[in-house]
Each structure stands twice: as structure tokens, then as C-alpha cells.
């Protein structure tokens, strides 16, 4: 009983909780910034990669191959390894523009590289799920390939993949903690520091609460969208 | 540019066109000539090649052998064809409507004129509303397609194809997916188009309608045109045993209208 009491005290302790709060909150703002900047970049780059991967014709083969190589590499490499490459590799190159950036920027680059690969696959599934007759209708009206993608295929594809996109967004939000390995002062690393100084683990609980406050509403929102779509599809089926 | 107005040379000239899907030959040396303002109906069982022939005419399918000339422009020759420009003058309407579900009726109709036809937004919308009014659907302009009946959707699809001002309209079994009571709304619109002089090639199972509007009826069987002629002859005194057999089966199914 005594051991359990000690553990509980090490995690749940109102005094430490209030002490840890400001530090961890300062760190969590960095997580939020990385999350929003990376997500915005990911949504744009991933769509570009998915579209390139679907380009028709023999001429586009090298481009398609590049897009495939990109997704294969970054989906297959653990994010922590990518973080080391970016966080320690880019500064080592000693190229003024890319080598003198903040840790946070390298964190954003890491997250963007990795999640672009995941999200490109989500987009691709969405694009492929649009029935070929939609393309045929668009092309038959005289729209070019690019126009039929832009106005007909991609808008339908994106609507369909919003729930899985949100899922990846939740994943990305949590992985903002991983880039602390290259020295980003975010919530997880700051709570670790606080924990060492304060001799308990309450700061981790604070960090967990911050993350959960963001991810749980996102998860519920995703569920809501999935349910809505299912209902709509069922209504159409009858 | 138009190769003719008098009807001396055909507006659509299909010569010995063959096409394969893998090992299966779906079109066998098809010849077809359609003059301006003419309505040609293609009849025949499912799988006889009607749809494929239509899709070849606006290059949704590639022609492997033979020649197609539309409005004096060879589609199958060695020169590069501007397919987008070609398709602007050949409208097609599909069996399953294929409206864009994420766009309103008005957006469906104005998309191509605005993005590929050089219309301004106002110009395209004005034209679209006028056309929707003519078919009695002006109050549906801001609805999404899933709020419309099948017949309404199909009429919107026809208007969408007409919005580009095509010189030729291809109709691919456009009433096959409709409930019987909705068929006549759609056919009424097609009849009006025929009367206004639109050149049309119509793949259809509605024999009564074909008899009424067609200048020429072609019976397709196994990928080739087995018999063609004026509707009175095809429906009244078909020469080929296969045509007779097909028509008697259709009659038995009650599709003569």
C-alpha cells in the first residue's frame, strides 16, 4: 500500500501540478506551432505528390517514380531517424540558408517530410475512389486533364478523405513530442526537465492533459464526420 | 470550317472502325455516315457495341483501326487532335447521368462554359438559368443533384452538355436507368432538340421513340451494323433475320412504347 501511495503521489500532486503548469504550457505552445505549420505544409505537399503519382502517360513516368520513391522512403523510415537526419544533418551541411535554423524549424521540417508521405497515400486513395465516369463526364465537356482534376476529381476526393486526414492530424500532433530528440524545447522535453528538478512525475501528467485536450475533441469530431458520411451513404443506397 | 451545310458530305463519317477490349473485338469494321441535322438511332442488344461506338466518336475510347471524321476533322489520323476542342463541339450524355455530386445544378451546367468555353461567370449563369427555365427546372438551380429525381438529373445532364453549344450530341441509353414514368420527360426534351435541328446519335432501347424521331436507324449486332435504314423500313420490314429476332424479343418485352 505504501508503494502505491508513493507512485500516486509522484504523479498526482496539486502543488507540483501548479508549479509545473507554466513551464509545460510554454513548451506546449511550441507543439501547437509545429503542429499547425507542419499540417498546413503537409496538406499542400501531400496533395501535390498524390496528383503527380496519378499523372497519366509515359512521359510522366520519371515524376511518378520520384513520388513513389518519396512516399516509400519516408513511410518506411522511423520518424525519430528522420529527425536525426534533419536536426543534425542539415546544420552540418553549413549552408547559410538551411543550416542556421532553429530546432523548432527542423522539427517542422521533420514532421512535414514524414507526414507528407502518409497523407499523400490518403489523398491517393481518395482520388482513386472517385468513379471513372466522373472523369469521363468532365473530359467529355472539353475540360482538360488538369481542369477535370482541379474541379471535379480532387474536390470529391478530399471530401471523402477528411476523416482519415484528421486521424493523421492527431498522429502528427502527438509526434510533435518526438522531435524533442533534436533539442526542441516542447512540452514533453520541458516536463522531463521539470521532473528531474522537482523529483516527481507530475509534469508528465500536465503534458498529457494538454495533448489530450487537443486530441480528444479532434477524435470525436472525426467520429462525427464518419458517422455523418455513413448515414448519407445509407440514405443514398435506399 | 464546317465541311458542309447542304448535306453533301456527312458531318460524321465513320469508316471501317474496329476496336478490341483485350482479345474481345467490340467493334467490327463499322461504317456510319451522319449528315448535319440528322438524328440516327443505334439499336441492338446490350453489348452489341452501341456505347463503345459513341465513346469512340469523342475519343473517350481509342479507335484501333479505321477512320473517323467529324466536321471535316479527322480524329484518327496521324496528326495530333486537340481533344479538348473537339469535345467542346461534341456533347455526350450518359446512362448514369454522371452529374458532379459536389456541385449544384447551376455549377454543373456552368463549369465547362466558364473554364473551357471562355464564358464569364455571369454569362454562363445567365445562359444556364435560361436553359433550365426552358426545361422547367429553374427552381432547382441551387439544389445538389442528389435532391433531384432521376429524370430531372438526366435533363440537367442534357442541358450541361448543351451549354457548350455542341454541333453534335451523343446520347448513350439516357433513359435506361429511369423509372418508366420519368422516361417521357427526358424523351420530350430530346424530341424538342431533334425538331430544332440538332445533329444527334442516339443509342436507345426505346423503339417507339426511335421510330418517331430517327431519320435513320442502325441495328448493331456483335459489334457491327447489320442493317440500317429509315425507321419505317427497319421496324416495318426488317430484312435481316437477326433484326427481326431482336425486334420481336423487344416487342415481347413491351418496349415498343
Of all residues in chain B, the one with the smallest CA distance to A157 is B102
If pLDDT is split at 50, 70 and 90, which confidence band does B133 have? very high
d(CA B14, CA A238): 42
CB A88 within 8 A of CB A182: yes
Contact of B243 with B234, CB cutoff 8 Å: yes
Q: Average the pLDDT over B204-227 and give the result.
A: 93
Residue pairs spanning A and B at CB distance below 8 A:
59
Q: What is the mean pLDDT of chain B?
A: 91
**pLDDT for residue B256:** 54
Helices vs. strands in chain A: H and E counts, helices first: 12, 0
Going by their DSSP bridges, the two strands B65-70 and B73-74 should be labelled as antiparallel
Q: How confident is the model at residue B220 (pLDDT cuts 50, 70, 90)?
A: very high
Q: How far is B86 from chain A (nearest CA, A)?
A: 7
The pLDDT of residue B101 is above 70: yes
pLDDT at A231: 81
Using an 8 Å Cβ cutoff, are A229 and A192 in contact? no
B1 — pLDDT class (breaks 50, 70, 90): very low
Q: Does B160 touch chain A (CB under 8 A)?
A: yes
Query: Cα(B110)–Cα(B164) distance, rounded to whole angstroms?
Result: 9
What does the angle CA B208 – CA B206 – CA B92 come to, to the nearest 5 degrees?
125
Q: Quick one: pLDDT at residue B8? A: 65
Examine the predicted complex and report whether its ipTM is higher than 0.95.
no
Structure confidence at residue B3 (pLDDT): 43
Cα separation values, B205 from A88, B45, B50, B133, B155, Å: 70, 8, 11, 28, 18
* B164 inside 8 A of chain A by CB: yes
Interface list for B 108-127 with A (CB within 8 A): 111-112, 115-117
- DSSP track, B99-131: --TTS-HHHHHHHHHHHHS---HHHHHHHHHHH
Instruction: Answer whether B7's CB lies under 8 Å from B35's CB.
Output: yes
- Asked if residue B173 lies in contact with residue B17, where contact means CB atoms within 8 angstroms, the answer is no
Give me the pLDDT at residue A233, please.
66
- Answer yes or no: are the C-beta atoms of B47 and B39 closer than 8 Å: no
CB B69 within 8 A of CB B13: yes
Which of the residues in chain A have pLDDT under 70? 1, 96, 98-99, 233-238
A38: phi then psi, degrees, rounded to nearest 5: -60, -45
Residue B72, pLDDT > 70, answer yes
Segment A139-180, tens digit of pLDDT: 999 999 999 999 999 999 998 999 899 999 999 999 999 998
The three-class DSSP label of residue A77 is coil
Distance from CA of B245 to the nearest CA of A (A): 33
Rounded CA separation B117/B120 (Å) = 9
Q: Rounded distance, CA A74 to CA A10, Å?
A: 38
- Work out the burial of residue B203: count CB atoms within 10 Å of its CB; fewer than 13 is exposed, 13-18 middle, 19 or more buried: buried
| pLDDT one-digit tens code per residue, A118-131 | 999 999 999 999 99
d(CA B221, CA B43): 9
Q: Nearest by CB to B111, which of A139, A140, A151? A: A151
* Greatest C-alpha distance within chain B: 55
Q: For residues B59 and A79, give the distance between their C-alpha atoms in angstroms, rounded to a whole number.
A: 46
Q: Give mean pLDDT, residues B150-160.
A: 94
Residue holding cell 443509342?
B203
Integer angstrom CA distances of residue B157 from A44, B93, B150, B170? 33, 6, 10, 12
Residues 81-110 of B with CB under 8 A from A: 83-85, 87-88, 90-92, 94, 96, 98-102
Answer whether A138 touches B (CB < 8 Å). yes
Distance CA A34, CA A20 (A): 22
Amino acid at each position: 500500500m505504501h508503494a502505491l501511495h508513493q507512485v500516486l503521489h509522484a504523479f498526482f500532486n496539486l502543488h507540483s501540478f501548479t508549479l509545473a503548469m507554466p513551464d509545460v504550457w510554454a513548451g506546449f505552445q511550441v507543439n501547437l506551432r509545429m503542429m499547425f505549420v507542419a499540417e498546413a505544409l503537409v496538406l499542400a505537399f501531400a496533395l501535390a505528390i498524390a496528383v503527380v503519382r496519378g499523372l497519366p502517360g509515359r512521359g510522366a513516368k520519371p515524376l511518378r517514380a520520384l513520388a513513389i520513391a518519396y512516399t516509400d522512403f519516408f513511410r518506411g523510415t522511423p520518424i525519430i531517424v528522420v529527425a536525426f537526419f534533419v536536426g543534425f544533418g542539415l546544420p552540418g551541411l553549413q549552408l547559410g540558408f538551411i543550416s542556421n535554423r532553429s530546432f523548432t524549424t527542423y522539427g517542422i521540417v521533420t514532421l512535414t517530410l514524414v507526414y507528407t508521405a502518409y497523407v499523400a497515400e490518403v489523398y491517393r486513395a481518395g482520388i482513386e475512389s472517385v468513379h471513372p465516369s466522373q472523369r469521363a463526364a468532365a473530359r467529355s465537356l472539353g475540360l482538360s486533364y488538369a481542369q477535370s482534376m482541379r474541379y471535379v476529381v480532387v474536390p470529391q476526393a478530399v471530401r471523402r478523405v477528411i476523416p482519415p486526414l484528421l486521424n493523421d492530424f492527431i498522429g502528427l500532433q502527438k509526434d510533435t513530442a518526438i522531435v524533442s530528440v533534436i533539442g526542441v524545447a516542447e512540452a514533453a522535453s520541458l516536463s522531463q526537465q521539470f521532473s528531474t528538478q522537482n523529483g516527481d512525475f507530475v509534469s508528465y501528467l500536465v503534458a498529457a492533459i494538454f495533448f489530450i485536450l487537443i486530441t480528444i475533441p479532434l477524435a470525436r469530431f472525426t467520429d462525427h464526420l464518419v458517422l455523418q458520411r455513413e448515414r448519407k451513404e445509407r440514405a443514398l443506397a435506399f | 470550317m464546317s465541311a458542309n451545310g447542304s448535306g453533301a458530305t456527312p458531318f460524321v463519317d465513320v469508316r471501317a472502325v474496329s476496336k478490341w477490349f483485350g482479345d474481345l473485338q467490340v467493334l467490327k469494321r463499322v461504317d456510319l455516315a451522319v449528315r448535319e441535322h440528322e438524328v440516327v438511332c443505334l439499336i441492338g442488344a446490350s453489348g452489341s457495341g452501341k456505347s463503345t461506338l459513341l465513346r469512340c466518336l469523342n475519343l473517350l475510347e481509342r479507335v484501333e483501326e479505321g477512320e473517323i471524321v467529324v466536321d471535316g476533322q479527322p480524329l484518327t489520323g496521324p496528326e495530333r487532335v486537340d481533344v479538348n476542342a473537339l469535345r467542346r463541339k461534341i456533347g455526350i450524355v450518359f446512362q448514369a447521368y454522371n452529374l458532379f455530386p459536389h456541385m449544384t445544378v447551376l455549377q454543373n451546367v456552368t463549369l465547362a462554359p466558364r473554364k473551357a468555353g471562355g464564358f464569364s461567370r455571369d454569362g454562363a449563369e445567365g445562359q444556364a438559368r435560361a436553359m433550365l427555365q426552358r426545361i422547367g427546372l429553374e427552381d432547382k438551380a441551387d439544389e445538389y443533384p442528389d435532391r433531384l429525381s432521376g429524370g430531372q438529373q438526366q435533363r440537367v445532364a442534357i442541358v450541361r452538355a448543351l451549354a457548350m453549344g455542341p454541333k453534335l450530341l451523343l446520347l448513350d441509353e439516357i433513359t435506361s436507368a429511369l423509372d418508366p414514368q420519368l422516361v417521357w420527360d427526358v424523351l420530350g426534351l430530346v424530341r424538342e432538340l431533334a425538331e430544332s435541328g440538332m445533329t444527334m446519335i442516339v443509342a436507345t432501347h426505346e423503339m417507339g421513340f426511335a421510330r418517331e424521331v430517327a431519320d435513320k436507324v442502325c441495328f448493331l449486332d456483335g459489334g457491327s451494323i447489320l442493317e440500317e435504314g429509315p425507321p419505317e423500313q427497319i421496324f416495318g420490314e426488317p430484312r435481316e433475320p437477326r433484326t427481326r429476332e431482336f425486334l420481336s424479343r423487344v416487342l415481347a418485352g413491351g418496349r415498343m412504347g
